[in-house]
C-alpha cells in the first residue's frame, strides 16, 4: 500500500493533506508512534529510531511550546526514510509555514487527523488492510500465471492448498468486466457474494473479476445460479460483460477453466455482446490459442493483412468500419446504424477496404481473412489494455 491508500482507510477518511501532496505515492510498510524521540532532552539509544517506509503518528507533544523542534523532526523523518507524518491537532492545529514548505520541497506528506482517532486503531486497520492486499496480490499473481503460463499440476495443487478453501470435484469459472471501465469500485458489490461461496472464491485480475465455484455435480447450472445470486443482491448485470468456462475437474483442469472464462469474456467484449460461453466460440478458439502461444506471429499476420488501413495516413473510418462489419457479421444495415450513416456509405468504405487489402479475393475468402485479422487485432488490443 502507499500513503494514498492509507488515506482511504475508514479510520483515516477524514484526514487532510497539509503538505507534501506529491509524495502520496510513497510505499507504506509500517505505522509507528512518535512521542519524545526528537526532543533534545532525550538521548536515543537505538541506531534507527523509525523504520523506513513508515507512516509516523504523533500528537507533537515533544514540541509543546517549542515549535522550532518541529522542523528538525521532519528533517530527521525524511532522512530516516519515513513515508509520511500524521499528527493529531491537540498541541498544534496548524504547523509553522517553514515546516510545511520544507515538506513540500521534499515531497514528504504531512497529514492532519480529522478528529479523535486512536493511534492503536489506526495501526490495526492499516495492518489488516496490508494483509488483505498481500492475499489479493497472491491471488492476482496466480490468476496471471494460470492465464499466461503452462502451470504444472503440482503448482496448481499448491495454489489450492494456499487459498485454504474446500474445493469440490468440478469447477465453473466466470470472468466479469464492466463495459465502461472507470475504476475498481464496481467490483465491491460482487465481493459480497463471497461469504456464500463455501466451495469457491472471488478475486480480481487487472480490471476484471473472477468467480470460481465448485460443485459435486458436472451438470450444475452455474450461469443460472450466478444470475440468481446477482438478482438476489440487486446487482444489475446491464453494465457487465461475462465470460463463462465449461465444466472442468477442479484439481487437474483449473488453469483451463480460468483461461476459458477469461478469453470468453474478451471475445464477448470484441463482439459487443453481454456474455459468451467458451464452448460456443467455435473456430475463434484457434485464434485465441494462436495469440496465446505466439503473439508476435499473430500480430505479424495482422499487420501484413490490415497494414494499409492501420497505417497513420490511412482514413481512420476504414479500420472502424472494418471492426463493426465483423462485429455485425457483415450486415451492412446494422453497420450503417452503428456509424450513423447511409448503407451506401458503408458499401463504399467496404469496397475501398477490399481494394486496399485483397482486390483479387472473392467475397467469402475476403470476409474469412478479414474476420480473422480483425479479431486478432482486437484480441491483442484487449490483452494489452
Q: What is the pLDDT of residue 261?
A: 97
With a pLDDT cut of 90, the percent of the chain lying above it is 57
Q: Kindly state the cell numbers that stand for 343.
A: 448503407
Prediction pTM value: 0.68
**Does 155 have pLDDT greater than 90?**
no
Beta strand 84-87 with 54-58: parallel, antiparallel or unpaired?
Answer: parallel
Q: Kindly state the cell numbers that stand for 157.
A: 495443487
Sorted by sequence, the CB contacts under 8 Å of residue 49 that are 6+ apart come out as 37, 76, 80
Cα 225 versus chain centre, distance:
25
Mean pLDDT over the full length of the chain: 88
Residue 160 binned pLDDT confidence (cut-offs 50, 70, 90)? confident
Q: Which of 123-132, 174-183, 354-363 has the highest mean pLDDT?
A: 354-363
Range scoring the smallest mean pLDDT among 171-185, 211-225, 361-375: 171-185
Strand partners, 57: 33, 86
Cβ atoms of 144 and 136 within 8 Å: the answer is: no
Q: What is the pLDDT of residue 269?
A: 92
Q: What is the pLDDT of residue 148?
A: 86
What is the tens place of the pLDDT at every residue in 284-312?
999 999 999 999 999 999 999 999 999 98
Please write down the HEC assignment for all residues of the chain. Answer: CEHHHHCCCHHHCCCEEEECHHHCCCECCEEEEECCCCCCCCCCCCCCCCCCCEEEEECCHHHCCCCHHHHHHHHHHHHCCCCEEEECCCCCCCCCHHHHHHHHHCCCCEEECCCCCCHHHHHHHHHHHHHHHHHHHHHHHHHHHHHHCCCCHHHHHHHHHHHCCCCCCEEEEEEEEECCCCCHHHHHHHHCCHHHCCCEEEEEECCEEEEEEEECCCCCCHHHHHHHHHHHCCCCCCCEEEEECCCEEHHHHHHHHHHHHHHHHHHHHHCCCCEEEHHHCCCHHHHHHHHHHCHHHHHHHHHHHHHHHHCCCCCHHHHHHHHHHHHCCCCHHHHHHHCCCCHHHHHHHHHHHHHHHCCCCCHHHHHHHHHHHHHHHHHHHHHCC
Residue 47 binned pLDDT confidence (cut-offs 50, 70, 90)? very low
Rounded CA gap, 155 and 288, in Å? 24
- When pLDDT is averaged across residues 15-25 and rounded to a whole number, the result is 94
Cβ atoms of 219 and 253 within 8 Å: the answer is: no
Residue 94: what are its φ and ψ, rounded to 5°?
Answer: -125, 145
**Does 46 have pLDDT greater than 50?**
no
What is the tens place of the pLDDT at every residue in 112-125?
999 888 998 999 88
Instruction: Output b/e per residue, 118-133; b: 16+ Cβ within 10 A.
Output: ebeebbebbeebbeee
Q: What is the pLDDT of residue 131?
A: 75
Range scoring the smallest mean pLDDT among 127-141, 289-303, 320-334: 127-141
Rounded CA gap, 188 and 178, in Å? 12
Rounded CA gap, 189 and 179, in Å? 16
**Does 346 have pLDDT greater than 90?**
yes
- When pLDDT is averaged across residues 93-108 and rounded to a whole number, the result is 95
How many CB atoms are closer than 10 A to CB 56? 24
Range scoring the smallest mean pLDDT among 50-54, 204-208, 338-342: 50-54
Rounded CA gap, 308 and 311, in Å? 6
- When pLDDT is averaged across residues 67-77 and rounded to a whole number, the result is 91
- When pLDDT is averaged across residues 66-78 and rounded to a whole number, the result is 91
Q: What is the pLDDT of residue 45?
A: 40
Instruction: Output b/e per residue, 167-203; b: 16+ Cβ within 10 A.
Output: beebbbbbbbbbeeeeeeebbeebeebeeeeebbbbb
Q: Kindly state the cell numbers that stand for 186.
A: 464496481
Range scoring the smallest mean pLDDT among 26-40, 258-272, 336-350: 26-40
- When pLDDT is averaged across residues 241-262 and rounded to a whole number, the result is 94
- When pLDDT is averaged across residues 320-345 and rounded to a whole number, the result is 95
Sorted by sequence, the CB contacts under 8 Å of residue 184 that are 6+ apart come out as 204, 207
Amino acid at each position: 500500500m502507499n500513503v494514498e491508500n492509507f488515506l482511504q482507510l475508514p479510520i483515516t477518511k477524514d484526514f487532510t493533506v497539509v503538505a507534501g501532496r506529491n509524495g502520496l505515492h510513497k510505499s507504506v510498510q509500517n505505522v509507528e508512534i512518535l512521542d519524545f524521540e526528537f526532543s533534545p532532552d532525550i538521548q536515543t539509544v537505538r541506531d534507527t529510531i523509525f523504520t523506513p517506509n513508515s507512516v509516523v503518528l504523533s500528537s507533537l507533544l515533544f514540541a509543546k511550546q517549542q515549535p522550532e523542534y518541529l522542523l528538525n523532526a521532519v528533517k530527521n523523518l525524511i532522512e530516516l526514510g519515513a513515508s509520511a507524518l500524521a499528527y493529531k491537532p491537540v498541541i498544534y492545529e496548524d504547523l509553522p509555514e517553514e515546516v510545511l514548505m520544507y515538506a513540500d520541497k521534499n515531497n514528504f506528506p504531512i497529514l492532519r487527523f480529522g478528529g479523535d482517532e486512536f493511534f492503536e486503531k489506526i495501526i490495526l486497520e492499516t495492518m489488516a488492510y496490508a494483509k488483505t492486499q498481500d492475499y489479493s496480490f497472491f491471488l492476482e499473481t496466480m490468476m496471471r500465471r494460470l492465464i499466461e503460463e503452462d502451470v504444472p499440476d503440482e503448482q496448481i495443487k499448491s495454489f489450492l492448498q494456499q487459498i485454504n478453501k474446500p474445493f469440490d470435484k468440478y469447477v465453473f469459472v466466470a470472468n466479469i468486466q464492466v463495459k465502461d471501465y472507470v475504476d475498481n469500485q464496481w467490483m465491491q458489490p460482487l465481493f459480497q457474494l463471497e461469504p456464500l461461496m463455501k466451495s469457491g472464491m472471488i478475486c480480481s485480475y487487472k480490471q476484471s473479476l473472477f468467480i470460481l465455484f465448485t460443485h459435486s455435480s458436472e451438470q450444475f447450472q452455474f450461469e443460472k445460479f450466478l444470475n440468481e445470486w446477482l438478482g438476489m443482491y440487486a446487482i444489475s448485470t446491464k453494465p457487465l460483460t461475462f465470460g463463462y468456462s465449461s465444466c472442468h475437474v477442479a484439481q487437474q483442469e483449473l488453469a483451463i477453466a480460468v483461461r476459458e472464462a477469461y478469453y470468453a469474456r474478451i471475445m464477448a467484449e470484441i463482439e459487443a455482446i453481454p456474455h459468451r460461453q467458451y464452448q460456443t466460440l467455435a473456430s475463434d478458439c484457434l485464434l485465441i490459442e494462436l495469440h496465446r502461444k505466439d503473439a508476435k506471429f499473430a500480430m505479424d499476420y495482422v499487420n501484413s493483412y490490415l497494414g494499409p488501413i492501420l497505417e497513420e495516413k490511412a482514413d481512420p473510418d476504414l479500420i472502424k468500419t472494418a471492426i463493426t462489419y465483423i462485429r455485425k457479421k457483415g450486415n451492412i444495415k446494422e453497420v450503417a446504424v452503428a456509424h450513423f450513416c447511409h448503407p451506401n456509405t458503408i458499401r463504399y468504405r467496404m469496397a475501398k477496404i477490399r481494394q486496399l487489402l485483397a482486390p483479387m479475393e472473392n467475397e467469402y475468402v475476403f470476409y474469412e481473412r478479414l474476420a480473422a485479422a480483425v479479431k486478432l487485432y482486437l484480441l491483442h488490443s484487449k490483452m494489452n489494455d
